[in-house]
Amino acid sequence: MKRLVLLGCVVFALAAAGTAAAALVPGVFDPGATGCVTSTFSGGVLHLAKNCPTATNAAAGADITGVSGDFTSASFTLASASQCQGGSPRFNVQTSAGFFFLGCNNVTPVVNADGTATYAFTAATIAAAGNQVPVPTGAIQSIEVLVDVEGTADLTDITVNGEAQVPTVQAAKDQCKKGGWRDFTSPAFKNQGDCVSYFATGGRNPGNG
């Protein structure tokens, strides 16, 4: 998997199934096998959770694969602005020019009528928030979205350079393996096969958990 940076200094990789196509690939970084981080995607929502102290060396997130060219924009919507904890969630962007961090606290969110909050990262929105971080320059080599602060975040409408990012069917089914089906709550599943069937049929076979 591609590189992520935890708290700006430690390089690590998410453990998740890879894919060559443009897609969101959920995964976790948990070298201590704490089990305190989870990353699942269902119903159009990327649910990220870190149920342990922020100082724990663990993170939940998703690689965004198949993105190329120069960075122009990125965005996500949180279930509420209260899910923005410091710089988490954030995009980590690796380009030919270096490594860039785009945290939810680096731009001013747009609070929508339903209470959700959209965080858009462009040269204009970063400047409007006081240029707390530099705008990514150079060709994109890798990009991730993650949480590494204690708490949970429910992300929807994740985009990079104007393109919506969702898992491929295979990536979604892979989340069901190795006990991953237990991490889903909406819908919940009774076993791995139930989980795989749900994603393989595009949700036509509902979860029976």
Q: Name which of 91, 99, 109 is nearest 46 in CA terms.
A: 91
pLDDT at position 203 is: 67
pLDDT in tens, 137-148: 999 999 999 999
Beta bridge partners of 154: 47
Q: In the CATH hierarchy, which fold is given to the domain comprising 3-200?
A: Jelly Rolls (2.60.120)
Q: Please, are residues 46 and 39 in contact by the beta-carbon 8 Å criterion?
A: yes
Q: Please, are residues 181 and 198 in contact by the beta-carbon 8 Å criterion?
A: no
pLDDT at position 124 is: 98
pLDDT at position 157 is: 95
> Mind listing the pLDDT tens digit of every residue in the chain (209 residues)?
333 333 332 333 444 433 334 588 888 999 999 999 999 888 889 999 999 999 999 999 999 988 889 999 999 999 999 999 989 999 999 999 999 999 999 999 999 999 999 999 999 999 999 999 999 999 999 999 999 999 999 999 999 999 988 876 666 677 688 787 877 765 778 898 888 887 777 666 777 76
pLDDT at position 172 is: 65
